[in-house]
Amino acid sequence: MASAERPEVLLIGFGGVGVLYAYVLQRGGARITAVCRSNYDTVKANGINVFSDKFGEHLNWHPDQVVRSPDEIEGNAFDFVPDVCPSSETIRPYLEKNLSLSPKNNLPLIVLIQNGVEIENEVYESLVCSDKPLASGVVGGLTWVGVTLLGNGTRIEHGFLERLKIGLYPPPLADEVPSDTASAFDQLVELFRQGGSNVEGTNDIVGVRWSKVLWNISWGGLTTLARRPVSAILEAETLPYSAGVVYGIMLELLAIARAHGINEDRLPSVTIDQVYDMTMRNTNAKIRVTQNPDQFLEPMENKNLPDDFKPSILVDLERERPMELHVIFGTLLERARAANVATPRLDLIVAALMPSQVAFVRKAKGLTKEDDSNKIYDANPALNKTGGAPVLGP
């Protein structure tokens, strides 16, 4: 760990969130190497224009180094490797190159900033636990931020909201962390803080991921199927339909979490009520909770969502961009099937969004529907991704 010098950061995934946190980490004192794809030329030549209500305006901001592939990397070995689109296959070649740059075989921390539960596991198993480790550990991160990369990757726009929670994976909970890893993690938190981020370290990133997913799939999932802002499912005429469904979705998720050992300590059941209330307070309806027809709840203060607020997955859907279905929903479905937990609502949400996902990915690859016809479907209920398995096909 080159703690006396400028910490070295390799950032993979230079979209809106990636650019924002690269910028934050550089402000915090790090040296940034960014991996760019489509916008390599413009970023190399002119940098990126940062427009942020919270972090200010910075025209032509430059990472310290911009590369397209592992072999273009020059300089020191890395301390931290944040990745906003995690997969060990994407990261591995960079870590191999990194090893060749490190005289003392110092290994970096991988930082995965991405929605979804237990997304760290695959990366942890294959890059940290392998016979020849390429990283010293994995940090999971969740961000609450509205940031968009615009103008063909030449600028980002960001409002005021920015909150980041990071924690070591697997969660140390009460366990002691090796001092090297602990001090690297502390340094990372400090880098974000110095850069201005509203960062918070947690010793249970897995529990935090589960609470975030409760909102994303319930209020977020129903809103996305409705193709309307959250406020549309909060009306007097729609709440008699949406309220029970939102609760039902959260109960399914809680059942999956419990089946995988996330107990009351780590994800209290009352979280469901909190997630419900937090959004319910944005309704404009008069709420009657007693049998007295003339008695209503006081109108709620502290609305926390703009009237036209849409969850990011719906924004992706409307822009015909691949959604995070496999990362966010896929893991949940796998865990539900593995533990034999029935998830009829979750199944239906994924089944209803998957056709768009398939179409968007196909379009991005320049393929047509005909290219995908005649592919194989295994009509074996045990291979189904969703429950309610069919009997033998036609």
Say if strands 56-61 and 48-52 run parallel, antiparallel, or are unpaired. Answer: antiparallel
Query: What minimum distance in Å lies between the beta carbon of 15 and a second copy?
Result: 25
Q: Which of residues 228-267 bind a second copy (CB under 8 A)?
A: 228, 232-233, 235-249, 251
Query: What minimum distance in Å lies between the beta carbon of 266 and a second copy?
Result: 22
> How many CA atoms, within 13 angstroms, populate the side-chain half-sphere of residue 98?
25
Q: Which is nearer to a second copy, 213 or 233 (CB)?
A: 233
Ordered DSSP codes for 272-284: HHHHHHHHHTT--
Q: Which of residues 18-47 bind a second copy (CB under 8 A)?
A: none
Write the single-letter amino acid at 235: E
Q: Which is nearer to a second copy, 29 or 244 (CB)?
A: 244
DSSP state for residue 305 in the 8-state scheme: S
Query: What minimum distance in Å lies between the beta carbon of 377 and a second copy?
Result: 4
Number of residues that bind a second copy (CB under 8 A): 76
> Is residue 160 within the footprint of a second copy (CB under 8 A)?
no
| Phi, psi dihedrals of residue 155, rounded to the nearest 5° | -155, 155
Q: Is 356 exposed, middle or buried (0-12, 13-18, 19+ CB in 10 A)?
A: middle
The stretch among 9-17, 173-181, 192-200, 225-233 that binds a second copy (CB under 8 A) is 225-233
Nearest to 63 by CA among 174, 156, 184: 156
Q: Which is nearer to a second copy, 261 or 355 (CB)?
A: 355
Q: Which is nearer to a second copy, 99 or 285 (CB)?
A: 285
Q: Which of residues 298-317 bind a second copy (CB under 8 A)?
A: 300
> Is residue 284 within the footprint of a second copy (CB under 8 A)?
yes
Both ends of the chain: CA-CA distance in Å? 61
Q: d(Cα 209, Cα 211) in Å, to the nearest integer?
A: 6
Q: Which is nearer to a second copy, 174 or 376 (CB)?
A: 376
Query: What minimum distance in Å lies between the beta carbon of 9 and a second copy?
Result: 37
Nearest to 55 by CA among 22, 18, 24, 17: 24
Member of 182, 255, 285, 315 binding a second copy (CB under 8 A): 285
Q: Residue 224 belongs to what H/E stretch?
A: helix 219-226
Which residues touch 173 (CB under 8 Å, ≥6 apart)? Answer: 203, 204, 266
Query: What minimum distance in Å lies between the beta carbon of 259 and a second copy?
Result: 18
Q: Which is nearer to a second copy, 99 or 280 (CB)?
A: 280
Per-residue binder mask for a second copy (CB under 8 A), 345-384, x = binder:
x-xxxxxxxxxx-xx---------x--xxxxxxxxxx-xx
Query: What minimum distance in Å lies between the beta carbon of 129 and a second copy?
Result: 30
